[in-house]
Amino acid sequence: MKIIVLDGYTENPGDISWAPLEALGEVTVYDRTSYEESPLITERIGDAEVIVINKTPVSRATIDACPNLKAIAVLATGYNVVDYAYAGEKGIPVMNVPVYGTDNVSQFAIGLLLELCSHIGHHSDSVHAGEWASNVDFCYWQFPMIEVSGKTAGIIGLGRIGINTARILRAMNVRVVAYDAFQSEAGRAVAEYVELDELLAQSDFIFLHCPLFPSTQGIINKETIAKMKAGAILINNSRGPLVVEEDLADALNSGKLAGAAVDVVSTEPIRPDNALLTAKNCIITPHISWATKEARERIMQTTADNIRAFMEGKPVNVVNM
Q: Is the pLDDT of residue 202 over 90?
A: yes
Residue 39, pLDDT score: 96
- Asked whether the predicted pLDDT for residue 113 surpasses 90, the reply is yes
Q: How confident is the model at residue 236 (pLDDT cuts 50, 70, 90)?
A: very high
> In what side-by-side order are the strands of the sheet with 257-262?
192-193, 175-179, 152-156, 205-208, 232-236, 257-262, 282-284
Rounded Cα gap, residues 307 and 97, in angstroms: 11
Is the domain spanning 102-284 CATH 3.30.2350.10? The answer is no
pLDDT of residue 46: 97
Q: Are 138 and 186 in contact (CB under 8 A)?
A: no
pLDDT tens for each residue of 143-162: 999 999 999 999 999 999 99
The answer to whether 300 and 20 are in contact (CB under 8 A) is yes
Dist CA 281 CA 273 (whole Å): 17
Which entry of 49, 239, 245, 296 is annotated as an active-site residue? 239
Checking if the pLDDT of 57 tops 90, the result is yes
d(CA 170, CA 177): 11
pLDDT for the residue numbered 105: 97
Average pLDDT estimate for 202-216: 95
Alpha helix segments (H runs only) across the chain: 19-22, 39-45, 60-65, 84-89, 102-118, 120-128, 160-171, 185-188, 196-202, 222-226, 245-254, 293-311
78 band by pLDDT with thresholds 50, 70 and 90: confident
> Given pLDDT bands bounded at 50, 70 and 90, which one contains residue 112?
very high
* pLDDT above 90: residue 66: yes
The CATH number that domain 2-100+293-311 falls under is 3.40.50.720
60 vs 180: CA distance, rounded Å: 33
Percent of the chain with pLDDT over 90: 98
Catalytic residue among 26, 89, 195, 268: 268
Same fold, 2-100+293-311 and 102-284: yes
- DSSP SS3 for 248: helix
Return all residues near 182 (Cβ < 8 A) that are at least 6 apart.
Answer: none
Q: What are the residue ranges spanned by the domains of the chain?
A: 2-100+293-311, 102-284
**What's the rounded Cα separation, in Å, for the pair 134 and 112?**
29
Question: DSSP labels for 265-289?
Answer: -SSSSPPTT-GGGGSTTEEE--S-T
Q: What is the dihedral of CA 244, 143, 122, 128, to 10 degrees?
A: 160
Q: What does the pLDDT look like over 217-229, one tens digit per residue?
A: 999 999 999 999 9
Q: Please give the full DSSP string across 51-94, using - where no structure is assigned.
A: EEESS--B-HHHHHH-TT--EEEESSS--TTB-HHHHHHTT--E
Q: Is 245 a catalytic residue?
A: no
Q: Please give the Cα distance from 187 to 148 (Å, whole number).
A: 21
- 3 state SS of 126: helix
What predicted TM-score, i.e. pTM, was given to this entire model?
Answer: 0.92
Looking at the DSSP bridge assignments, the partners of residue 16 are: none
Query: 160 catalytic, yes or no?
Result: no
Strand partners, 26: 2
pLDDT digits (tens, 9 = 90+) for 282-318: 999 999 999 999 999 999 999 999 999 999 999 999 9
Average predicted confidence (pLDDT) for the chain: 97
Residue 100 clears pLDDT 90, i.e. is over it: yes
Give 265-274 pLDDT, tens digit per residue.
999 999 999 9
Strand order in the sheet with 26-29: 26-29, 2-5, 50-53, 71-74, 94-95
Helix, coil or strand: residue 177: strand
The predicted structure's pLDDT at residue 301: 98
Sign of CA dihedral 268, 269, 272, 278: positive
- State how far the Cα of 190 lies from the Cα of 206, in Å rounded to an integer: 16
pLDDT at position 102 over 90: yes
Task: Determine whether 268 is an active site residue.
Answer: yes
Is pLDDT of 45 > 90?
Answer: yes
